Amino acid sequence: MLFSVATDSYDLAVREIRGEFGGGVRIERVSADLGRIVSGGPSVEELASACDSGRIIFVRHLTVELASFKPGDVPEPHELADLVLEALPRHPQALAVQTWTDGPGSGGSYYHRLDEALGARGVTVSRAGQDVVVSCFVSAKTVIFGLNRLEYSLSDWPGGRMRLARSDERVSRSEFKLEEAIQTFGLDLPPGGKGLDLGASPGGWTRILRQHGQEMWSVDPGELDPRVTADRKVHHVATTAGEFFRQNRIYFDIVVNDMRMDQVLSARVMLDAVPHLSRGALAVVTLKGGGKNPLDAARRGIELLSKQYDVLHARQLHHNRREITVIAECP
């Protein structure tokens, strides 16, 4: 089984996997952001469950290895199609094919080879949105093919590397983090809800939640981008989170926090928000990394959140860099 990670989180992911499934799990490093569980490990279903629930937070993407080749020894496309189809219990109507590399480029030539060969067998190929995902990792030394059901892949992007479009409407890079979390975890944000954005400046997360139909209260002593405040359903409260909570009488359906502070402080701010949340309200918080023991620090933040929230997910997403995103629910 193959798992992808952020380059500087590989050792943390290995520590988590062995901590969850035992020190006998044999793991080898394939590339900077890809590891292989060689023996003694869990099934892909068990590992995916541990990742989805937040027991393992530094793994981004999973696939079950079908075969690996030296770049000059990769079989002809029709043989690759046989490799994929013979691994499936029945002939599929459609598959996703996702390629990525550890260098420049995307490995797209392998996508086109599989697209053509599988298409000749009557299989529709797309890059995402299918129940079964064919993965292809390409490096200077190896080409690896894998197969997995989407429900156990953790991400519907090649190697978990989500790519979101840049646009003139975006007011901050941080928007990508929330957008990725909403898509990855399938967050349900019914239109007409009330949202609270703590440390909102310059307003990127507020803007994304407005796109999902939430009326927003954006708390930050700093300024918001004029494109955000021009929206009548954005209420900029120019104060600190603590002062806002002392004055507030509104109940919110979602609270988000992307403030630059350590994990424990961020978690405590989220605990302060609990009396202001409706039952079942969602909470999204990024816990910042760093320090000598980022895994232990993240766990302390999650443990603190668990005192008053049901923690649903915790993962280092592609756009997090040295952070993790936690999704929780107010009971």
pLDDT tens, residue by residue, 203-233 = 999 999 999 999 999 999 999 999 999 999 9
Alpha-carbon span 184 to 52, nearest angstrom? 10
Q: Quote the pLDDT of residue 290.
A: 64
**Once rounded to an integer, what is the mean pLDDT over residues 265-276?**
97
**Once rounded to an integer, what is the mean pLDDT over residues 118-135?**
97
Q: Quote the pLDDT of residue 164.
A: 75
pLDDT over 90 at 170, yes or no: no
Q: Residue 206, by phi and psi: left (phi above 0), alpha (psi -120 to 50) or beta?
A: alpha
pLDDT over 80 at 166, yes or no: no
**Once rounded to an integer, what is the mean pLDDT over residues 240-245?**
97
Domains and their CATH numbers in the chain: 2-160 (3.30.2130.30), 175-329 (3.40.50.150)
Assign 84 a pLDDT band (cuts: 50, 70, 90).
Answer: very high
Alpha-carbon span 294 to 25, nearest angstrom? 22
User: Strands 277-288, 323-329: parallel, antiparallel or unpaired by DSSP?
Assistant: antiparallel
Q: Quote the pLDDT of residue 167.
A: 72
**Once rounded to an integer, what is the mean pLDDT over residues 239-255?**
97
pLDDT over 70 at 35, yes or no: yes
Mean pLDDT of the chain: 95
Q: Quote the pLDDT of residue 7.
A: 93
Q: How many percent of the chain have pLDDT more than 70?
A: 98
pLDDT tens, residue by residue, 59-78 = 999 999 999 999 999 999 99
CA distances in angstroms from 247 to 31, 199, 239, 240, 254, listed in the order given: 52, 16, 11, 11, 18
Instruction: Look at 57-61, 100-104, 220-224, 243-247 and tell me which has the smallest mean pLDDT.
Output: 100-104
Could you tell me which of 263, 256, 219 has the C-alpha nearest to residue 240? 219
Write down the pTM of the prediction. Answer: 0.93
For residue 295 the two structure tokens come to 């895994």
Q: Quote the pLDDT of residue 105.
A: 79
pLDDT over 90 at 292, yes or no: no
Give, in degrees to the nearest 5, the angle at Cα 110 between 105 and 116.
Answer: 135
